Chain A
Amino acid sequence: MSQTTIPPNTAEEVIYLRPSHGWSALNLRDLWRYRELIYFLIWRDIKVRYKQTALGAAWAIIQPFFTMIVFTIFFGRLAGVPSEGVPYPIFSYTALLPWGLFTKALSDAGRAMISNRAMITKVYFPRLVIPIASVLSGLVDFSIAFIVLIGMIFYYNNVPGEYDPITVTPAILTLPLFILLALVTALGVGLWLSALNVKYRDINYIMPFLTQFWLFITPVAYPASMVPEEWRWLYALNPMTGVVEGFRWALLGTSSSPDPMLAISTAISILLLISGLFYFRRMERTFADMV
């Protein structure tokens, strides 16, 4: 054996393929080795997403923007939902940003294993790559929609009205943490859904219902302060509550600063992620046979 062409045995990687039972390790090292594939899948998603659409990337703005208009008319004007001292459009749009990121990530991740079936049945790669890439690719739409928020804040700051102008506070530095919390939550739920969807296609039907239901228990159209004090702890079990309230606090200076509620949200979110990771890994071995 020539040492020049083949690395010595000590460095040689040996893979053992045998039936596995029960829970398996996450094998994050393998995931790291395939990080470029995550990058390429995100890149593919973005390249392909708005191909052959007339409005292109404008869709990233249209969805939250029109939802905001509908919310403003029905909740802001007709129902008179309070908006914590900022214009209602800004109040709801600020929440719709992480909400859009979350629902898009959720539905993409839920469907990802099915839509990438051809890859799963023909090539090996850590399957975790797929839901991770689909969750992360939502960040692009999020960034585009975020620019609109900046425009809206400028607009409202310059129109004289009943509201105080919105100013940037040091709290904005915490924004990435709330984005991260939204992603972690989406990935956690997305992992559960995508693994379940391989076996039970019912998930396809559950997803729209789930996101709709989830919207009502998240303070997107209304402030969390409307929820009676004694029920707050229960309300905080929804990690998206922490995310949305955190966004408003970091960007608009409304809401109270993060409190124990956020700790509960974060804990639940991390729990979802870890359980999702292990469940996904457990189901992974049957994906190629069942998908």
Chain B
Amino acid sequence: MNDLAIRVENLGKQYTIGTSPERYQTLRDSVANTITAPVRGFRRRFIKKEALSSAGGRGKKDSIWALRHVSFDIHKGKVIGVIGRNGAGKSTLLKILSRVTEPTEGLAEIHGRVGSLLEVGTGFHPELTGRENIYLNGAILGMKRTEIEKKFDEIVAFSEVEKFIDTPVKRYSSGMYLRLAFAVAAHLEPEILVVDEVLAVGDAEFQRKCLGKMSNVAQEGRTVLFVSHNMSAILRLTEETMVLEKGEVVMRAPSRTAVEQYLSSGYAQIGERLWTRDEIPGTAFPFYPVAVRIRDPHGRVVDTVRSVDPFTIEIEYHLESPITGLRVGIYLMTTRGEFVFTSFDTDAPDQYDEYRIRAAGKYTSRCHIPVDYLNEGSYVVGINASTYQIKRYFQDEQVLNFTVDPSGAPGMQWAEPRLGPMRPRLDWQIENTKEGAKTEATPARIDFDQNK
């Protein structure tokens, strides 16, 4: 018997560029476009047909393959992670599998009812109450009315908004809104669940709750395809992970291996990551990242820093219009997927006050990492630009990689690797507690310098 849940064969999706930048056109362009639109429409249709008939072959100049030559099988009951950088084709893959859009070539075969969560709260109407939105959103996600009725209390309890269930959701805080939205989505019970980055919402506690719910879903024997930038969520929830790169599956391996490979396959070996405008999603407006760099104490851009030297992570960006409460920050992660820290440029109260409203213009935010801070190994820098509980303008959890060289760090007299991402130089006191043999507190480093 066939126990396949999803079979994908040579799947590809081509997008025509030039449809998206239309919002930047001038009035004159729009007039010209309006007049020529029908003509172009017809021409495009015919040209497309031609291009397709030549065996889906040569790409046109103004089109890109968001996904190409993707083939894989997923067996029933498996929980598979999908990781990859922004624009690697993850969302396109999910959109095809959840039938939102059609592939341009290839075939996908899906055995069973698919539920897709590409976004939480799809179709929520601000004027409707929480109760009404549960029904509406449930129906949009493909739930039957009786099914929603049966789970209604459970959904409300999960969302923790009981008191406001008859209040229009436009009066909800963004946290409440997201909780309610996720609660509905979490109670969807399809045979195959396709989930995009929906766990990256809400506060930390609610995220934990969502992750818990997700792992329950996984244990119930349903097939799950789970896209995330959150490596620890991937590691926790999935057994196997596919890595997408430039629209192709470059690896499929047990999650731990895949994550490690993915994080250490640095794109920017030169310690710098640059963005061009068309790489940045439209949702980032008005925040546009320009570059992220690692600089050594001499100001050189490097990809390896010494543990005993300070270094700087700088984020260069452009604000097209002022943002209130903007915070630009970094995540630091090991290539094994453990977070080391998260830090924002307005963490300090006085900075926070000074940049309450950040005017439009060019900025560079620099984060100084002190000496004796990181252990040897590879690290990943991610960036986040957001306004707390309002909007996340831009986030990329794998912007660039760098390596920490441990020479001169504490404990180097022993060649063994040290556990943990940090390698601080801490003060130790060694006290001989035998009567009368009290030693003065001596900084440990003196001993090491003598290299006994």
- Using a CB–CB distance below 8 Å, which chain A residues touch chain B? 1, 5-6, 9, 12-21, 34, 36-37, 39-41, 43-44, 47-48, 51-52, 116, 118-125, 199-200, 202, 285, 288-290
- Given known pairs A47-B132, A199-B41, the reply for A123 and B1 (CB within 8 Å) is no
Across the interface, A124 reaches (CB within 8 A) one of B76, B116, B132, namely: B116
Shortest distance in angstroms between B342's beta carbon and chain A's nearest beta carbon? 28
Partner of A200, one of B37, B101, B110, B135: B37
**Contact assessment for A5 and B127 in the assembled complex, using a CB-CB cutoff below 8 Å:** no
Contacts of A36 in B (CB 8 A): 139, 144-145
In the complex, which residues of chain A have a beta carbon less than 8 angstroms from the beta carbon of B318? none
B85-111, CB < 8 A from A:
95-111
Q: Which listed residue, B100, B102, B140, touches A20 by the CB 8 Å rule?
A: B102
B30 to chain A, nearest CB (A): 9
Q: Among the listed A9, A48, A124, A289, which residue makes an inter-chain contact with B2, where contact means beta carbons less than 8 Å apart?
A: A9
* Chain B contacts for A121, CB-based, 8 A: 100
Q: How far is the CB of B16 from chain A (nearest CB, A)?
A: 8
Shortest beta-carbon distance, B194 to chain A, in Å?
10
Q: A40-B140, A44-B125, A200-B38 are in contact. List 14 more A-B contacts (CB 8 A).
A: A5-B221, A9-B2, A12-B111, A17-B109, A18-B103, A19-B102, A37-B140, A47-B128, A118-B122, A119-B123, A122-B100, A123-B116, A124-B114, A288-B101
Q: A36-B145, A123-B98, A202-B37 are in contact. Are A16 and B108 (CB under 8 A)?
A: yes
Write out the residue numbers on chain B whose beta carbons fall within 8 Å of the beta carbon of A15. Answer: 99, 109-110, 114
Chain A residues contacting B374 (CB-CB under 8 Å) are none
With A12-B111, A47-B128, A123-B141 given, is the CB distance from A290 to B118 under 8 Å? Answer: no
Question: Taking A37-B139, A47-B127 as contacts, is the C-beta distance between A14 and B110 under 8 angstroms?
Answer: yes
**Given the complex, which residues of B lie within 8 Å of A122, measured CB to CB?**
100, 116, 118-119, 122
Pairs of residues from A and B, 10 with the lowest C-beta to C-beta distance, nearest first: A124-B99, A40-B139, A17-B108, A288-B101, A15-B110, A285-B102, A122-B118, A122-B119, A51-B127, A122-B122
**B3 touching A288, Cβ below 8 Å:** no
Query: Is the contact region of chain A dominated by helix, strand, or loop, or is it mixed?
Result: mixed
Report if B285 contacts A (CB, 8 A): no
The chain B residue with its CB closest to the CB of A119 is B123
A174 to chain B, nearest CB (A): 34
Residues of chain B within 8 A (CB-CB) of A43 are 136
Report which of B2, B3, B52, B97 forms a contact with A17, defined as CB distance below 8 A: B97
Q: Give Cα distance in the complex from A116 to B100, angstroms.
A: 13
Asked if B439 is at the interface (CB within 8 A of a chain A CB), the reply is no
Please list the residues of chain B having a beta carbon within 8 angstroms of any beta carbon in chain A: 1-3, 15, 19, 34, 37-38, 41, 52, 76, 95-114, 116, 118-119, 122-123, 125, 127-128, 132, 135-136, 139-142, 144-145, 191, 221
> Which of B34, B99, B139 has the most C-beta atoms of chain A within 10 angstroms of its own C-beta?
B139
Q: Are B107 and A17 in contact (CB under 8 A)?
A: yes
Which of A16, A18, A122 is most buried by chain B, counting CB atoms within 10 A of its CB? A122
For the complex, what is the distance from the CA of A1 to the CA of B37, rounded to whole Å? Answer: 55
Q: B98–A1 contact, CB under 8 A?
A: no
Q: Identify which of B101, B122, B145 contacts A289 (C-beta below 8 A).
A: B101
Q: What's the nearest-Cβ distance from chain A to residue B312, in Å?
A: 40
- B98 and A18 contacting across the interface, CB-CB below 8 Å: no
13 A-B residue contacts at CB 8 Å? A17-B97, A17-B107, A17-B108, A18-B103, A36-B145, A48-B128, A52-B127, A122-B116, A124-B98, A124-B99, A124-B100, A125-B142, A285-B102
Q: Using Cβ atoms and an 8 Å threshold, which residues of chain A touch B122?
A: 118-119, 122-123
Chain A residues closer than 8 Å to B3, beta-carbon distance? 1
The distance in angstroms between the C-alpha atoms of A225 and B299, with both chains bound, is: 89
A202 to chain B, nearest CB (A): 6
Chain B residue, CB-CB nearest to A16: B109
- Is B2 within 8 A of A19, CB to CB? no
Q: Contact partner of B76 among A1, A116, A200, CB < 8 A?
A: A1
Chain A residues, Cβ within 8 Å of B139: 36-37, 39-40
Return chain B residues, CB-CB under 8 Å to A37: 139-140
Task: Give Cα A52–Cα B2 distance, bound, in whole angstroms.
Answer: 55
Of the candidates B76, B105, B113, the one whose C-beta lies within 8 Å of that of A19 is B105
Contacts of A124 in B (CB 8 A): 98-100, 114, 116, 142
The chain A residue with its CB closest to the CB of B118 is A122
Roughly how many angstroms separate A34 CA and B132 CA in the complex, as a whole number? 18
Contact of A9 among B1, B100, B114, B144 (CB under 8 A): B1
